[in-house]
Amino acid sequence: MILHLAAFRWKDDVTDDDVAALTAALSEMAVGIPEIRSYTAGANLHLRPAGADYGVAAVLDDAAGLDAYLDHPAHLAVYEKHLGRMIAERSAVQLPIEEGSFR
């Protein structure tokens, strides 16, 4: 399995309403993509200094599932409507994980 993590820093004009709309759109999107086994997205709690403004974590079976998720029309639509105009910086990583490895 693959854990896909994406972290975003927002442009200065991004509002709390923008972030709420994005989170709702991502949550709705994830339900409709069968390759996603687990998904969460939301604003950084900022419990430590610095860091990104927002994060996404998706668990998928394999690289084909990751491609299906990232290239899915619903994902592209969320990017077009929300993310594209909000992002100042993006960082992503994919990590191998064993099923049941989260404690």
pLDDT score for 5: 98
pLDDT score for 26: 98
Domain boundaries, the chain: 2-96
Q: Residue 103 — very low, low, confident or very high, per pLDDT cuts 50/70/90? A: low
Helix, strand, coil percentages, rounded to 5, for the chain:
40, 35, 30
The pLDDT of residue 19 is above 70: yes
CATH of domain 2-96: 3.30.70.100
Tokens (6 digits) for 57: 């974590």
pLDDT single digits (tens) 57-90:
999 999 999 999 999 999 999 999 999 999 999 9
pLDDT score for 99: 74
